[in-house]
Chain A
């Protein structure tokens, strides 16, 4: 199971980083989503991987599933979900403002903030 989880995290992180490094907002949003999935799985694994265990300590000598990473993952999921929604809205706005979904800033003659007002 360790190998399965580790390869899943690695594959998603790799795909996410590859997509993050593209210069278009759509790929970047996909990449960010991939990375956050990988991170969520990783946090989950930080409480040790257990199967079919209760998340309270029933008998002090037995094993249990650590409930804290589950709570952390829940928070992380909510936050990353909200952030994905936000960046999607911004990407759409950027597409309508500039007519392309590239993320690079414009050339120097345009960055000399004429449109800042």
Chain B
């Protein structure tokens, strides 16, 4: 048994209490431990990714209780990919947040590490109830991060809405688990995959209701129409680094849907209308947004829609396109929320509102970064957003009404692009004219107004740009190495659809 498998759960679970109990008053030490933990997670993630890429499904029985009686961790290509993605996002977001966000309230680092623990656990576990527990771990940490650093009544209220939404979702999750347990008598995912096709017809209805409820819960987490309403308010009002980390949280829902529905061999074709509706609402929202944070939230929504279009294909080719797009959109959304935060910090008095403002410090570099991420997010060549959308378009060719899907994808991409271009020009171009007007009309004051804005510490912008630049470097790599990545994703998708192999690896072949 490979004990490294439990490391991504164990390490943050040790480091987070250590920071809370021993070094809560020393921010420097807390930062060192937190960064160290994230670096270690990244290295282990890379190691496990290398392990899993040979196609063998590895299992780890916690406490050596043999499955299906004990809880089992399962490492296959998909979980290894998600672990690595979580570690990468965690490290870079942390790098950004140590420039000051972590010091605006208490206990940022422990919450961050607990969130990483919950994410890693959710990606590794092979047990349905354990999945619920790890969901709760990552959610309760995210509740703390959501209202980190105060932020006034708006953020607290948005936080309450977020908590209530997710608590209701958790109740549904428990009901679904109870229904499935009462129908099959097991909660081990591999065992479930075997038993759901053997259940008598009388309990089949209970099982279907349980499965449908599970889908509703995961659709709520991943903001699928009509359960998307919480996302814009939450993301737009969360602190920048928290919103960036949340970009992987919507993907936990997608991961769970993919995992459970490939294991149970149930098709997802009926998701398509909801996916297209999510896509349309997202891109209309991008165009209608009144602040950059809101716009980034709606862009997230649109990317979730695209992702679900791919997943609804229910074959390995569509799923591999979806997985490629998943990685791209996670990196992209994380980066864009950091840029939103940068704009808020550097534009005192205006925040991220889409209104004209005087010139602000570091405008050029922020504009460049926003341009790069807007290109990636709206799916314009040459970055991975374009490649991802091409893959998704190609995978939908087999659909009965594929031309409608293509039309919606093209139109929404265009609408999203227009929205991004509008906000970019409002934020970064039009302010120059404002400044010019000020200089013209206010001739008594020779120096433009910008000089009165106190310039923030120069070193923080370097670290912040490095963090955002790292995300961009990853997106660039995802675009350059699109071919090997998509080959890997194809293998991942094929492994997912070969559910018998998963069952055999977890439970042993003889059963």
Taking Cβ atoms with an 8 Å cutoff, the residues of A that contact B are: 20, 25, 28, 32, 35-36, 39, 42-43, 45-48, 68-69, 72, 75-76, 79-80, 82-83, 86-87, 90-91, 93-94, 97-98, 102-106, 108, 110-117
Q: Is the CB of B156 within 8 A of A94?
A: yes
Q: Is the CB of A90 within 8 A of B163?
A: yes
Chain B residues positioned under 8 Å from A68 (CB to CB): 181, 187
Name the distance in Å between A38's Cβ and chain B's nearest Cβ: 8
Please name the residue on chain A nearest to B351 by beta carbon: A113
Name the distance in Å between B180's Cβ and chain A's nearest Cβ: 9
Interface size on B, residues (CB 8 A): 43
Chain B residues positioned under 8 Å from A45 (CB to CB): 178, 182
Chain B residues positioned under 8 Å from A108 (CB to CB): 290
Q: Which 9 A-B pairs have the closest CB atoms?
A: A98-B153, A115-B152, A46-B182, A46-B178, A97-B153, A43-B178, A94-B156, A112-B353, A113-B351
| Docked CA distance A73–B6 (Å) | 25
Task: Taking A112-B353, A113-B237, A115-B152 as given, write out 13 further A-B residue pairs in contact, using a Cβ cutoff of 8 Å, ordered by the A residue number.
Answer: A32-B167, A36-B171, A39-B174, A46-B178, A47-B181, A79-B170, A90-B163, A105-B233, A114-B351, A114-B353, A115-B151, A115-B155, A116-B151
Q: Is the CB of B293 within 8 A of A94?
A: no
Chain B residues positioned under 8 Å from A114 (CB to CB): 351, 353
| Docked CA distance A105–B233 (Å) | 8
Q: List 16 A-B contacts (CB under 8 A).
A: A28-B164, A36-B171, A42-B175, A43-B177, A46-B178, A47-B181, A47-B182, A72-B178, A72-B181, A90-B143, A90-B160, A113-B236, A113-B293, A113-B351, A115-B154, A117-B344
B279 contacts A by Cβ under 8 Å:
no
Q: Is the CB of B157 within 8 A of A103?
A: yes
Q: Is the CB of B160 within 8 A of A25?
A: yes
Chain B residues positioned under 8 Å from A46 (CB to CB): 178-179, 181-182
Taking Cβ atoms with an 8 Å cutoff, the residues of B that contact A are: 129, 133, 136, 140, 143, 147, 151-161, 163-164, 167-168, 170-171, 174-175, 177-179, 181-182, 187, 233, 236-237, 290-291, 293, 344-345, 348, 351-353
Chain A residues positioned under 8 Å from B163 (CB to CB): 83, 86-87, 90
Chain A residues positioned under 8 Å from B290 (CB to CB): 108, 111-112
Chain B residues positioned under 8 Å from A104 (CB to CB): 157
Name the distance in Å between A56's Cβ and chain B's nearest Cβ: 14
Which of B136, B157, B171 contacts A105, CB < 8 Å? B157
| Docked CA distance A28–B157 (Å) | 13
Which of B167, B178, B182 contacts A83, CB < 8 Å? B167
Chain A residues positioned under 8 Å from B154 (CB to CB): 105-106, 110-111, 113, 115-116
| Docked CA distance A90–B344 (Å) | 25
Known: A42-B175, A103-B160. Contact between A79 and B237, CB under 8 A?
Answer: no
Chain B residues positioned under 8 Å from A82 (CB to CB): 140
| Docked CA distance A49–B127 (Å) | 24
| Docked CA distance A75–B236 (Å) | 33
Name the distance in Å between B133's Cβ and chain A's nearest Cβ: 7
Which of A36, A72, A105 contacts B161, CB < 8 Å? A105
Q: Is the CB of A32 within 8 A of B164?
A: yes
Name the distance in Å between B26's Cβ and chain A's nearest Cβ: 25
Please name the residue on chain B nearest to A44 by beta carbon: B178
Chain B residues positioned under 8 Å from A97 (CB to CB): 152-153, 156
Which of A43, A69, A86, A98 contacts B156, CB < 8 Å? A98
Name the distance in Å between A34's Cβ and chain B's nearest Cβ: 10
Which of A75, A86, A93, A117 contacts B140, CB < 8 Å? A86
Q: Is the CB of B171 within 8 A of A39?
A: yes
Chain B residues positioned under 8 Å from A72 (CB to CB): 129, 177-178, 181
| Docked CA distance A32–B171 (Å) | 9
Q: Is the CB of B151 within 8 A of A91?
A: no
Chain B residues positioned under 8 Å from A113 (CB to CB): 154, 236-237, 291, 293, 344, 351-353
| Docked CA distance A42–B159 (Å) | 28
Chain A residues positioned under 8 Å from B236 (CB to CB): 111, 113
Q: Is the CB of B293 within 8 A of A43?
A: no
Chain B residues positioned under 8 Å from A115 (CB to CB): 151-155
Chain B residues positioned under 8 Å from A86 (CB to CB): 140, 143, 163
Q: Is the CB of B351 within 8 A of A112?
A: yes
Q: Is the CB of A83 within 8 A of B140?
A: yes
| Docked CA distance A72–B163 (Å) | 22
| Docked CA distance A74–B367 (Å) | 52
